[in-house]
Amino acid sequence: MADVLVGAQGRPGGEEMSGQRTLEKVSVLITAEKIQERVREIGRAISADHPGRPIHLLGVLKGSFIFMADLARCIPATVSCDFLRVSSYKGSTSTGEIRFEMDVTEPITGRIVVLVEDIIDTGTTMDALLRVLRSREPEKLLTCALLHKPSRRKVEVPIDYLGFTIPDRFVVGYGLDFDGRWRNLPYVGAIEEA
Ligand code: IMP
Ligand code: MG
């Protein structure tokens, strides 16, 4: 990820206070309109695949929170929501490890569960999560990811509902961050050198 530079978007003590120039530049990769259109399609597909059944959305924090908020509103069925949190990335490189920082608040046993992720990169996070969640015996455990970077895949994971396949770029926005920033962009963008 050679094109990722340290910047100061919205960070107290950053650009405004230190007088330093922001070095990150973000170019639009997937527009807000394209995302909304695809999220609507995924929402309809999830409910069409499970007629008359309640859907339990399980979001992987923090990256999935915006995607899941939109997705939940696009599923014309009974929906419940829960979240879990694992630590994965620092900056733009993988630590290769995942750690559970927050578990679910409701049992998933016997439910139709859709695990909602922002992005599947190496597949390590999703793979580890699926193994733990399967042992809790949901009726169905499906996966839904906004983005997939197949070029970096290390572990094969099933993706039942996918928004977009993207090239090997570090992306931010629509929930995805770089060092905690850029999640609030309404589109998905790639970080570039300024
Ligand atoms: P994986 O375990 O390698 O599949 O990585 C999954 C996690 O890494 C995602 O849930 C993201 O939090 C983070 N991640 C991977 N690629 C990107 C990216 O391009 N931008 C922001 N976060 C990323
Ligand atoms: Mg994530």
Q: Give a three-class secondary structure readout of 53-87.
A: CCEEEEEEECCCHHHHHHHHHCCCCCEEEEEEEEE
Task: Write out the two tokens for 9.
Answer: 């978007």
Q: What are residue 176's phi and psi, to 5 degrees?
A: -85, 145
CB 77, CB 54: distance < 8 Å: yes
Q: What are residue 58's phi and psi, to 5 degrees?
A: -125, 105
Distances in Å between the Cα of 132 and the Cα atoms of 59, 65, 108, 141 are 15, 21, 11, 11
What is the structure's pLDDT at 18?
A: 44
CB 108, CB 138: distance < 8 Å: yes
What is the structure's pLDDT at 194?
A: 64
Q: How many CB atoms lie within 10 A of CB 46?
A: 23
Q: Report the greatest alpha carbon distance in the chain.
A: 57
H or E stretch including 15? helix 15-18
Pocket of ligand 1 (CB under 6 A): 63, 88-89, 94, 117-126, 170-172, 176
What is the structure's pLDDT at 24?
A: 80
For residue 178, give the ligand 1 atom closest to its CA. Answer: 21
Task: Write out the two tokens for 57.
Answer: 């959305």
What torsion do the CA atoms of 135, 136, 139, 141 make, to the nearest 10 degrees?
Answer: -70
Q: Is 138 helix (H, G, I), strand (E, B) or coil?
A: coil
What is the structure's pLDDT at 100?
A: 83
Residue 177 zone, left/alpha/beta (φ > 0; ψ -120 to 50; rest): beta
H or E stretch including 192? strand 188-193
Task: Write out the two tokens for 131.
Answer: 């193994």
Q: Is 121 a catalytic residue?
A: yes
Which residues have CB less than 5 Å away from ligand 2 (the ion)?
63, 118
pLDDT under 50: residue ranges of the chain: 1-8, 10-20, 90-91, 95
Q: How far is the CA of 117 from the centre of ligand 1 (A)?
A: 9
